């Protein structure tokens, strides 16, 4: 049996908006925000995303798991890749920077010198990353909770995808909760047989051997389950002619307004970026 | 309609019902499994994570064709990134799609998935797919993030290639052997 996304009708402004217009806005928002690394510009997008999120009427209780994961992932990314190693800041933060913390030590036995320098620029970049990631997460995280799954296929078709590809995308999004449930069930079954996920450690080969008991059964059972879907679709003559959809939508004036706003936002962002605005910026007061 | 007892000839670039469903399954599998391991970041790499699930699009390419492999990688990476809050990174999605497409090019040459020659061919194409896919994605950082070639090579290309090669070269043969058992039992 399929597990479904946590969608429910909230009678919000977002429910009245055509899903195609919402996807266009979300994608334009994404392509616009990635033009900038200046926190002053990013805060505008942050505010816009906050308004969009508020309109959705999605509660924190519904999305707390997703937000927990986003915060955990973001923390790992920023702590490991920006604060400790600066790999994630490559190409954006240029120059040696202004040190705020330095640590030099020698690794015993191998006598290797290690020098760690934390700069104001890297710390500010970490903050900038947070301000950049949170709006993107907010815009896309609410989609499964606010978009009727019965409209996925029609929406992707309406965005210009061919019938079969649109249906494949529809199926993929619908399969995600089911596969997550199957993965959890497989994990529990393997744990009952003595498998310990917490002990996925050791060398790479050992890690592969420990991960395989999870990936193999889930993959094979999904493929076997797909056979039933294929038979059902073949019996209904899938693909013989242009597909029609049971559930459809139509544009209203506010959908056109949203699409125009999205396109203007994107074009403005691209133009500003080409003109050199929105580069990484650190408040002069911090580095003077 | 096929006469009873005849076997439908496989076509390399077909996208019928079977391919539509398996592309969706591959994408969802890759999306979910990659999302679960996205927290394991490779230190000093440009937001590259350890991802055993990378074997999924490669295997789906080998088992169901290059289009299925491409969609599994492309769409699966989109789903994983959306779930993780990364947003939408077209070039990395394309790179993941290419990692699934190249192994799919040997789809027609495989009769038994546990044959040594079939596995060897798959390994070679996994290698090619990872190099090409991650190469495209890494080079794109030069105009997306503004990094130079040396930085993207060290920070994006090398970490992604090394980790994806290791997971792909080890897990794809395991999946092929397991799938061979499934095919033998189901008769498809």
Cβ(A175)–Cβ(A271) below 8 Å: no
| Shortest Cα distance, chain B CAs vs residue A208, angstroms | 7
- Asked whether residue A43 falls in the same domain as residue A95, the answer is yes
Look at residue A157 and tell me if it is in a domain.
Answer: yes
Which residues in chain A have their CB less than 8 angstroms from residue B31's CB?
Answer: 172, 176
With a CB cutoff of 8 Å and minimum separation 6, the contacts of A10 are: A56, A57, A58, A146
* Per-chain mean pLDDT for chain A: 83
- Asked whether residue A31 falls in the same domain as residue A170, the answer is no
Domains of chain B, start order: 17-186 (1.10.1760.20)
Cβ(A155)–Cβ(A144) below 8 Å: no
Q: Print the domain residue range for A286.
A: 18-148+267-288
ipTM: 0.85
Look at residue A11 and tell me if it is in a domain.
Answer: no
pLDDT tens per residue across span B129-167? 999 999 999 888 776 665 668 777 877 888 889 989 989
Question: Above 50 in pLDDT, residue A218?
Answer: yes
Q: Which of the 8 DSSP states describes residue A79?
A: I
What CA dihedral angle connects A226, A234, B97 and A175, to 10 degrees? -40
Question: Above 50 in pLDDT, residue B107?
Answer: yes
Domain count, chain A: 2
Check B88 against A30: CB less than 8 A apart: yes
- Asked whether residue A24 falls in the same domain as residue A118, the answer is yes
Look at residue A2 and tell me if it is in a domain.
Answer: no
- Asked whether residue A144 falls in the same domain as residue A33, the answer is yes
pLDDT tens per residue across span B37-77? 765 655 555 555 678 899 999 999 999 999 999 999 999 99
Which residues in chain B have their CB less than 8 angstroms from residue A222's CB?
Answer: 25, 28-29
Nearest alpha-carbon partner for A32 in A45, A19, A22: A45
Look at residue A9 and tell me if it is in a domain.
Answer: no
- Mean of pLDDT values over A85-100: 65
| Shortest Cα distance, chain A CAs vs residue B188, angstroms | 10
Question: By the CB < 8 Å criterion, does B177 face chain A?
Answer: no
Q: How far apart are CA B188 and CA A288, in angstroms?
A: 71
Question: By the CB < 8 Å criterion, does B45 face chain A?
Answer: yes
Cβ(A89)–Cβ(A137) below 8 Å: no
- Asked whether residue A177 falls in the same domain as residue A130, the answer is no
Neighbours of A213 (CB within 10 A): 16
Query: A2-6, A102-106, A210-214, B180-184 — which is least confidently predicted?
Result: A2-6
- Asked whether residue A41 falls in the same domain as residue A132, the answer is yes
- Asked whether residue A64 falls in the same domain as residue A198, the answer is no
Look at residue A39 and tell me if it is in a domain.
Answer: yes
Task: Say what the pTM is.
Answer: 0.78
pLDDT tens per residue across span B10-28? 788 888 899 999 999 999 9
- Asked whether residue A282 falls in the same domain as residue A178, the answer is no
Look at residue A259 and tell me if it is in a domain.
Answer: no
Look at residue A7 and tell me if it is in a domain.
Answer: no
What are the structure tokens assigned to A85, written together? 């190693």
What is the reported pLDDT for B47?
Answer: 56
- Asked whether residue A143 falls in the same domain as residue A215, the answer is no
Quick one: which H or E segment has residue A201?
none
Q: String of b and e for A72-93 (b: at least 16 CB within 10 Å)?
A: ebbebbbebbbbebbbbbbbbb
- Asked whether residue A122 falls in the same domain as residue A30, the answer is yes
Cβ(B106)–Cβ(B126) below 8 Å: no
- Asked whether residue A48 falls in the same domain as residue A95, the answer is yes
Look at residue A198 and tell me if it is in a domain.
Answer: yes
- Asked whether residue A57 falls in the same domain as residue A129, the answer is yes
């Amino acid at each position: 049996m399929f597990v479904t996304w946590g969608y429910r009708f909230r009678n919000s402004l977002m429910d009245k908006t055509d899903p195609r217009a919402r996807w266009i806005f979300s994608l334009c928002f994404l392509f616009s925000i990635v033009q900038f690394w200046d926190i002053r510009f990013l805060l505008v997008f942050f505010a816009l995303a906050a308004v969009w999120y508020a309109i959705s009427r999605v509660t924190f209780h519904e999305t707390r798991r997703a937000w927990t994961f986003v915060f955990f992932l973001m923390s790992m990314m920023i702590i490991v890749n920006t604060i400790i190693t600066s790999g994630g800041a490559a190409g954006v933060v240029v120059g040696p920077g202004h040190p705020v913390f330095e640590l030099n030590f020698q690794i015993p036995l191998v006598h290797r010198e290690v020098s760690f320098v934390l700069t104001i620029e890297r710390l500010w970049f970490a903050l900038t990353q947070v301000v950049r990631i949170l709006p993107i997460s907010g815009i896309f995280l609410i989609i499964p909770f606010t978009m009727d799954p019965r409209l996925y296929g029609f929406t992707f078709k309406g965005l210009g995808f061919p019938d079969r590809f649109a249906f494949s995308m529809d199926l993929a999004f619908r399969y995600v909760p089911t596969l997550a449930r199957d993965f959890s069930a497989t994990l529990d079954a393997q744990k009952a047989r003595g498998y310990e996920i917490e002990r996925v450690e050791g060398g790479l080969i050992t890690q592969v051997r420990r991960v395989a008991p999870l990936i193999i059964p889930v993959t094979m059972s999904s493929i076997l389950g797909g056979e039933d879907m294929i038979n059902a679709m073949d019996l209904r003559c899938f693909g013989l002619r242009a597909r029609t959809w049971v559930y459809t939508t139509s544009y209203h004036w506010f959908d056109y307004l949203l699409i125009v706003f999205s396109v203007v936002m994107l074009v403005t962002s691209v133009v500003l970026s080409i003109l050199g605005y929105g580069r990484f910026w650190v408040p002069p007061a911090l580095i003077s | 309609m096929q006469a009873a007892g005849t076997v439908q000839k496989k076509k390399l670039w077909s996208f019928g019902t079977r391919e539509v469903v398996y592309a969706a399954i591959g994408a969802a599998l890759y999306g979910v499994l990659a999302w679960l391991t996205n927290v394991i970041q490779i230190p000093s790499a440009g937001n590259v994570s350890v991802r055993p699930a990378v074997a999924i699009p490669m295997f789906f390419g080998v088992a169901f064709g290059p289009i299925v492999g491409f969609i599994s990688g492309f769409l699966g990476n989109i789903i994983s990134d959306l779930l993780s809050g990364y947003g939408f990174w077209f070039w990395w999605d394309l790179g993941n799609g290419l990692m699934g497409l190249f192994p799919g090019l040997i789809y027609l040459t495989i009769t038994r998935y546990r044959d040594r020659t079939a596995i060897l061919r798959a390994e070679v194409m996994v290698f090619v797919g990872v190099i090409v896919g991650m190469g495209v994605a890494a080079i794109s950082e030069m105009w997306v993030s503004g990094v130079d070639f040396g930085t993207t090579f060290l920070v994006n290309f090398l970490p992604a290639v090394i980790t994806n090669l290791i997971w792909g070269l080890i897990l794809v043969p395991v999946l092929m052997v397991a799938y061979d058992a499934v095919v033998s039992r189901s008769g498809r």
